[in-house]
Amino acid sequence: MSNSRPSCDRSLVLDGKVAMITGASSGIGAAAARLFAREGAAVVVTARRAERLRALVEEISAGGGRALAVPADVASAADVERVVRSAVDAFGRLDCAFNNAGFGTAGTELHETGQDVYEQTMDVNVRGVWNCLRFQIPEMLGAGGGTIVNTSSVAGQRATGASAAYVAAKHAVLGLTRAAAAEYAQRGIRVNALVVGSTRTEMMDRAVRTMPELRERFEDETLQKRMAGPAEVAEAALWLCSDRASFVTGAAMPVDGGTTAA
């Protein structure tokens, strides 16, 4: 962990804030950790792959940022509580959270989907967000407010090429987001979701390896005819976590290249 902070002439979007980011060992989560740190936040990164987290923290610290790795499984309430407590112990508070950890599959019809796949999909995507909200919100209430961004998906609004379990789980993330936004808006906590389109992540790479035809399908569904890079999604999360989005809560913000507009 490093206590230095990057300095530059321009105003930093998250200057002095403390941010928790889940699913940070790769893809969107790792991109968000790098971006949030560059924008002045102390980042507490979590995922199950400890070595990758440590490498990420070393990278951020080498660039003058502040970062702490706390390996954990978001499906475990005890693990999530430990991550939140570690953030507060290390940096004094928790200002914002990007609940990004996810798991999904494609290519298997509902009746052929194994019970284990269904349970893992629900555990990571739904129970994981639930656990995060349960432990993040009390810290933010105690500090007078905060911001939370949950990662949903185009699959949270309609059926896609992903599994039925994933579609159901990402619909649930939007429900949790809207319910939390309504309950805590007058107590200073904003809660929003990203409706993420096809993005070049490990999970997408696995899906495309299994079903190569998905790449062309996912790209064709967007108005821009391409997939997003993880950093493009991270930029949207950064804005929602910042004071620049002060009048935005309960939103399902598309970051999908126009997929849901088509």
Q: Is-contact 193 253, C-beta < 8 A? A: yes
pTM of the model: 0.92
196: left (phi over 0), alpha (psi -120 to 50) or beta: beta
pLDDT of 219: 74
pLDDT of 16: 96
pLDDT of 7: 47
Catalytic, 118? Answer no
pLDDT of 4: 45
Which stretch of 61-65, 98-102, 227-231, 232-236 has the lowest confidence by average pLDDT? Answer: 227-231
Of all residues in the chain, the percent with pLDDT exceeding 70 is: 94
Q: List C-alpha distances in Å: 12 to 15, 56, 105, 127, 201.
A: 5, 21, 37, 33, 27
pLDDT of 3: 46
| Average pLDDT, integer, range 51-69 | 97
pLDDT digits (tens, 9 = 90+) for 108-166: 999 999 999 999 999 999 999 999 999 999 999 999 999 999 999 999 999 988 899 99
User: Average model confidence (pLDDT) for the chain?
Assistant: 92
Q: Is-contact 132 80, C-beta < 8 A? A: yes
pLDDT digits (tens, 9 = 90+) for 180-194: 999 999 999 999 999
Q: Which of 91, 166, 184, 218 is catalytic?
A: 166
